[in-house]
Chain A
Amino acid sequence: MNVHQTSGAGRASEAAAVMARWLIGALFIYMGLKKAMHPVEFLKLVRQYDLVHAPFLLNAIAGGLPWFEAFCGILLLTGVAVRGTALTLVAMLVPFTWVVLQRALALQALRAIPFCAVKFDCGCGAGEVFICGKLAENGTLILLSIWLLISKFGRSFSLRPVLFPTAEG
């Protein structure tokens, strides 16, 4: 335990950060493997975003991304390169949330329904979901990842929280 964890508030923060790390890790493993087990379904969903047309790139994203998510989940769960993993998750979650939002807005305009009534399969691994719930979930994941990235908490029960010593100073 580090010095900052010795106070009551520090211990509470540390416990909360570890729980957040485990929660995000478990969620990414679950969602990643769920998609990895049905790559064709995920391929069709990725294609619907109309961002990539080259077959190789489309297949690499649909075939690789779910396993990459699970890989990041394992790193967080076991506590390897916590800050680097948190940064990677933020780098994935922010653009992904943006494209989900754009698609939801397009669907809302087309169906002429309230924004929160928009429901579709965003390729997140949970099937069809209401957009407001999805955005709230992603927002929470982004905030928790940023917390793990910038704070020193959440390093207990970690195998190797820092790959390169300079990352923690």
Chain B
Amino acid sequence: MPNLKCKIGGILAEAVVIAVIGFAAALTANEVSPRGLALNRNYFPAGTNAAPAVPKPAPVFQNVAGTNSSTTNVPSDADDLSERLRDKGLQEIKRPQLEKLFHDPRTQEGRVIFVDARDEEHYADGHIPGAYELDPYHPENQIGTVLPVCQAAEEVIVYCTGGECEDADTAAIILRDAGLSNKKIFVYGGGFTEWHDNHLPLEAGERNSGQKPK
């Protein structure tokens, strides 16, 4: 019996040592990794740390190339989206208005700006022509370029994958917190998926590359 206790104690001690050393090594690896997360940063600002509701079943959008896999193919419905944006103090813009803005001469003049809040890989695969990239998880890479352009603009449209994706909300909040007037920030809830599915113009690669997506 004492031998069994000894064995169990030894195994537990091993597990504790593994947990302590393992987590220390894991957090160090996260710190060293160029893709690692900043532990003290709030990646979901404006009270959005609570998880979104369980996805609704309405299959409005389909998964397409360039969409974010983590958001699945099940977006929340329009009411949920509007409510979510309202809760964060953000304004929503729908596709018909957005299409008008896209063809508005002010867009060519830089008075209407599109901001793509997806990651670099998805942006390169395809984005709304002329859109600037602002990855809300690594804003330090692009905010220096995007913020002055947005400050000079009359309207700023931010989008991500659409549906459940909240990255556009986060990017909009980052711009707002950086001093951009909330009045000119609009979130396109339908996002890239809706734009893509409606066969609207797309561009691949860098901004204004004129390159067509594959």
In the complex with contacts A84-B18, A120-B72, A163-B13 CB distance below 8 A: yes
A137 at the interface (CB under 8 A from B): no
| Minimum CB–CB distance for A56 against chain B, Å | 6
Query: How would residues 42 to 67 of chain B score, 1 for a CB under 8 Å from any chain A CB and 0 otherwise?
Result: 11100001111011110000000000
Q: How far is the CA of A162 from the CA of B51 in the complex (A)?
A: 41
Known: A55-B49, A63-B27. A81 touches B22 (CB 8 A): no
Residue B119 interfacial (CB < 8 Å): yes
Complex Cα distance, B17 from A43, in Å, reads 26
Contact residues in B for A163 (Cβ distance below 8 Å): 10, 13-14, 17
Dominant secondary structure at the A interface: helix
**A residues near B214, Cβ cutoff 8 Å:** none
Query: How many angstroms from the CA of A111 to the CA of B55 in the assembled complex?
Result: 9
Residues of chain A with a CB closer than 8 A to B35's CB: 36-40
User: Which residues 45-87 of A sit at the B interface, judged by CB distance below 8 A?
Assistant: 45, 47-50, 53-56, 58-60, 62-68, 71-72, 75, 81, 83-85, 87
Question: Which chain B residues border A65 with CB–CB below 8 Å?
Answer: 26
List of B residues within 8 angstroms of A128 by Cβ: 69, 72
Contact present for B15 and A67 (CB under 8 Å): no
Residue of A nearest to B4 (CB): A169
A 96-145 contacts with B by CB, 8 A: 103, 106-107, 110-112, 120-121, 127-128
Interface contact B7-A67, CB-CB below 8 Å: no
Please judge, given known A-B contacts A39-B30, A72-B22, A166-B9, whether A60 and B15 are in contact too, CB under 8 Å. Answer: no
Contact A83-B49, Cβ < 8 Å, known A41-B69, A71-B25, A128-B72: no
Cβ of B93 to closest chain A Cβ, rounded Å: 23
**Contact between B39 and A107 (Cβ–Cβ < 8 Å)?**
no
Interface size classification for chain B: 35 or more
Chain A: CB-nearest residue to B56: A110
Q: Judge if B78 is at the interface, Cβ distance under 8 Å.
A: no
B137, CB-defined interface residue at 8 Å = yes
A39-B30, A40-B137, A67-B26 given as contacts; is B39 within 8 A of A56 (CB)? Answer: yes
Whether the pair B29, A67 counts as a contact (CB closer than 8 A) is: yes
A162 to B26 Cα, complex, angstroms: 22
Q: Which residue of A lies closest to B166 (CB)?
A: A44
Provide the bound-state CA to CA distance between A107 and B38, in Å.
31
Give bound CA distance, A85 to B10, whole Å. Answer: 12
The answer to whether A81 and B14 touch across the interface, beta carbons within 8 angstroms, is yes
Which among B14, B40, B69 is the interface contact of A83 at CB below 8 angstroms? B14
A-chain residues with CB within 8 Å of residue B105 when the two chains form the complex:
none
Closest B residue to A40 by CB, please name it.
Answer: B137
What's the Cα separation between A165 and B19 when bound, in Å? 19
- The answer to whether B14 touches A60, judged by C-beta atoms less than 8 angstroms apart, is no
Q: Is B100 an interface residue (CB 8 A)?
A: no
The answer to whether B10 and A162 touch across the interface, beta carbons within 8 angstroms, is yes
**B69: which of A37, A103, A121 is its contact (CB, 8 Å)?**
A121
Give A99 to B35 CA distance when docked, in angstroms: 27
Chain A residues with CB under 8 A of B6:
166, 169
A164 touches B10 (CB 8 A): yes
Sample of 6 further A-B pairs with CB below 8 A, known A47-B44, A59-B38, A167-B10: A55-B43, A58-B49, A85-B15, A121-B70, A163-B17, A167-B11
Measured CB to CB, the residues of A under 8 A from B are 36-41, 43-45, 47-50, 53-56, 58-60, 62-68, 71-72, 75, 81, 83-85, 87-88, 91, 103, 106-107, 110-112, 120-121, 127-128, 149, 162-169
Task: List 9 A-B pairs, Cβ < 8 Å.
Answer: A39-B35, A43-B43, A45-B70, A64-B30, A68-B22, A110-B55, A110-B56, A121-B70, A169-B6
